Amino acid sequence: MSTGAPVIRPMVESDHARATHVFRLAFGTFFQLADPLSFAATTDMIATRWATDPGTAFVAESEGRIIGSVIGSHWGSQFVIGPLTVDPAFWRGGVARKLMARIVAVSAERGARLTVLFTHPQSAMHIRLYESFGLLPFALTPVLNKRAGMTSAGTAFRRFSALSATDQAAALAQSREVTGAVYGGLDLTREIAAVRKLRLGDTVLIEEQGEVAGFAICHHGAGSEAGEDALFVKFAAVRPGAAASFERLIDAIEQLAGELGAKRITAGVNTARRDAYRRMLARGFRTGIVGVAMQHPDEPGTLRPDAYVIDDWR
């Protein structure tokens, strides 16, 4: 192990392969996999997020070698931290703290009102690190899975990718109105645009009276955040209290999964969103892994009983 102090610098495209190697090695080691590098082997969490917003990605470098990285996602008034990973050979050496300090500074520079992340509730080490930066643990976030297949629901929805440029612009503006009703200033339009531009999947839109009433940003397949044969709901929302719209949106997600040939659907729902969580369970979604949501400052944000939001902040 090198004793040189790591340098934190912006991530560049040529860093992706090594940063991805460290990402898989770190999580695979943490979860005690027989082959740590098999962790999330068909997903891409690094290059896709860097391409979405290069200004929120950093690496830790020691003697010319990348030993860690961190990426943030700027969702308007909310800034999501993660993944943050460090080569296991450098664990407990202060590298994670240096990366965390840099990404927290970016959240402040971007003017986010709320800084959030997903971590392991069983790991006191992780929780202590994030608490030292002012984040507090809130409710658990189960990452749910369900076998996919065409449904007979027949819910009407539109794909963002199929819209004209004019209609896409209108849909983005209306999606901001939906998320702004959930939490003031929350804005997922950067993620919607990235999924379209990078061909990571698609965004489904449900409408009421000609306006977007809900949307779901979905990654699909190898090379996305979903992985092979999977559809991953990165973010989905309807207006607060709109339970019927939420049911329609899940119908649309399941129909999209069937159309794309996905074999499973993955979607995280924080348990503070009580009714949304219960409805997902009632539809056959079951817990895979469980995380805990942490955020700063100490306010509910989107973690409220009236919020119908799907996201897991990994």
Residue that the structure tokens 């049911």 belong to: 247
E-only strand ranges, the chain: 7-10, 57-62, 65-75, 78-86, 114-119, 136-147, 158-159, 201-208, 211-221, 227-238, 264-268, 286-296, 309-310
Exposure on the CB side of residue 241, measured as CA atoms within 13 A: 1
Does 7-112 carry CATH code 3.40.630.30? Answer: yes
Q: Which residue's structure tokens are 């050496």?
A: 93
Task: Give the model confidence (pLDDT) of 199-231 as tens digits.
Answer: 999 999 999 999 999 999 999 999 999 999 999
**Domain coordinates of the chain in residue numbers?**
7-112, 145-310
| Placement of tokens 């997020």 in the chain | 49
What is this structure's pTM?
0.96
Domain 145-310 indexed as CATH 3.10.129.10: no
User: Tens digit of pLDDT per residue, the chain (314 long)?
Assistant: 455 789 999 999 999 999 999 999 999 999 999 999 999 999 999 999 999 999 999 999 999 999 999 999 999 999 999 999 999 999 999 999 999 999 999 999 999 999 999 999 999 999 999 999 999 999 999 999 999 985 656 789 999 999 999 999 999 999 999 999 999 999 999 999 999 999 999 999 999 999 999 999 999 999 999 999 999 999 999 999 999 999 999 999 999 999 999 999 999 999 999 999 999 999 999 999 999 999 999 999 999 999 999 999 99
Do 7-112 and 145-310 agree at the fold level? yes
Give the residue among 210, 172, 212 at the shortest CA–CA distance from 189.
172
Strands 78-86 and 114-119: parallel
Handedness of CA 244, 155, 75, 135 (dihedral sign): positive
Contact 206, 212 (CB under 8 A): yes
